[in-house]
Amino acid sequence: MAPILGIMASQVTGHLWAPTGAYDSIATTTVGAGGASSVDFTSIPSTYTHLQVRYLARGSFSGNEIQIRMRLNSDTGNNYARHLLEGDGSTAAAYATASGSLMALGSIPAATGTASAFGAGVVDILDYANTSKYKTSRTLSGQDRNGAGTIDLASSLWMNTNAVTTVSVFPDSGNFSQYSIVALYGIKGA
Amino acid sequence: MANTYVAIATQTLGSAAASVTFSSIPSTYTDLVLVANGRTDWTTNIYEALYCQLNSDTGTNYSVTALMGDGSAASSYRQSSQNQMEITRFNNSFSSNTAFGTSIIHFQNYANTTTNKTALGRTNNTPNGYYNVGATVGLWRSTSAISTIKLYPALGTNFVTGSTFNLYGIASA
């Protein structure tokens, strides 16, 4: 077993690193033939320090690509802010939204995008169980369609101090297509 | 719950090498993460990149979209129908640079045989007096499970001694 990178550095004050269970798979959803409008992870235990969502996904939206979003604890209020730095193959651009109703992760290929191309993302939700802080996510995501696509570095804020117990990931319009996979992992502190 | 982040293989170069290959990768994980810390012997200019080929496929089945910052500006570029995936920038030996750069590459759902494969790369490299940070998404237009990953310099002849390459597997529930 190997530690995730960075955890070894936390041993300097005498902690003995325990290799078992430092990075755990909490739940995984693979979308079936009917598609899914959202992947929801509920009843997330508070026993980890950080959460990580990893996905490979495609949407049914009738376009080349569709944005992928996230909400926490089913909060649909205007309690989120988001920033993205995005490259589209020719230009780098930055976007921001204050007081929005969702978090931004990036984009995934959609119905008319290159066949069998899926977008990928790695989303970190840091200190998710803390009840004193607003929650921040950071995302590396991208989708390349051989001649089109986007690459994103995204950060979103949920202006709420509640512990995160539910994570919902969904396309901005339409469904996730079959074979999309979204997985939730827990990362423990020493 | 089991620990699901597992070291599959590590290569530390005891001498210069033209490429690094991880082969016979088991299909028992969900994602792969490859961490490279190294430098090439390219000395001509500040630019260097890490090329990647999967399953020894040398056809024009690769493409990338990249986002880069060089200390003064952000930019984006694309490469389509390439013989290799330029998955991250990488350190070189320009101007007697001795620093090693770091690249982290994610291969999501690499063992599935239904979808084309998408990789995400992150780079932080520091050729002497020049800094580069960026992200790349790469597409391999193949539905084959990834069983071999080959990395090699885009411009240099070799990776230098001391370069390290670590492959991890992440297994989901």
Task: Report the distance separating Cα B157 and Cα B148, nearest Å.
Answer: 21
Beta bridge partners of B69: B74, B133
Q: Which residues does chain B have within 8 Å of residue A89's beta carbon, measured at their own beta carbons?
A: 65, 76-78
Specify if A10 maps to a domain.
no
The pLDDT value given to residue A190: 82
Report chain A's C-alpha Rg in angstroms.
17
Q: Tell whether A185 lies on the interface with B, counting CB pairs under 8 A.
A: yes
Specify if A6 maps to a domain.
no
As given in the structure block, the two tokens for residue B169 are: 């597997």
Specify if A1 maps to a domain.
no
Residue B1 has pLDDT above 70, yes or no: no
Task: Report the distance separating Cα A174 and Cα A155, nearest Å.
Answer: 23
The structural domain count of chain A equals: 1
User: If phi over 0 gives left and psi between -120 and 50 gives alpha, with beta otherwise, what is residue A108?
Assistant: beta
Shortest Cα distance, chain A CAs vs residue B169, angstroms:
10
Contact A114, A145 (CB under 8 A): yes
| Domain locations along chain B | 5-143+150-170
Contact B76 A143 (CB under 8 A): no
Contact A20 B172 (CB under 8 A): no
Among residues 87-106 of chain B, which lie with CB inside 8 Å of chain A? 106
Stated length of chain B? 173
Tell me the per-residue pLDDT of B118-143, one tens digit each, with 9 for 90 and over. 999 999 887 766 778 999 999 999 99
User: If phi over 0 gives left and psi between -120 and 50 gives alpha, with beta otherwise, what is residue B162?
Assistant: left
Containing domain of residue A161, as a range? 22-187
Residue B39 has pLDDT above 90, yes or no: yes
Task: Report the distance separating Cα A34 and Cα A45, nearest Å.
Answer: 29
Neighbours of B71 (CB within 10 A): 9
Residue B69 has pLDDT above 90, yes or no: yes
The pLDDT value given to residue A14: 32
Task: Report the distance separating Cα A126 and Cα B36, nearest Å.
Answer: 25
List the single residue in B6, B119, B137 with the smallest CB-CB distance to A149. B137
Instruction: Give the residue-averaged pLDDT of B57-72.
Output: 95
- For residue A59, what pLDDT band results from cuts at 50, 70 and 90? very high
Contact B6 A2 (CB under 8 A): yes
Backbone angles phi, psi at A74, to 5 degrees: 60, 25
Specify if A7 maps to a domain.
no
- Total-model pTM: 0.92
Angle, vertex CA A67, rays to CA B81 and CA A69, nearest 5: 135
Specify if A52 maps to a domain.
yes
List the single residue in A90, A92, A143 with the smallest CB-CB distance to B137. A143
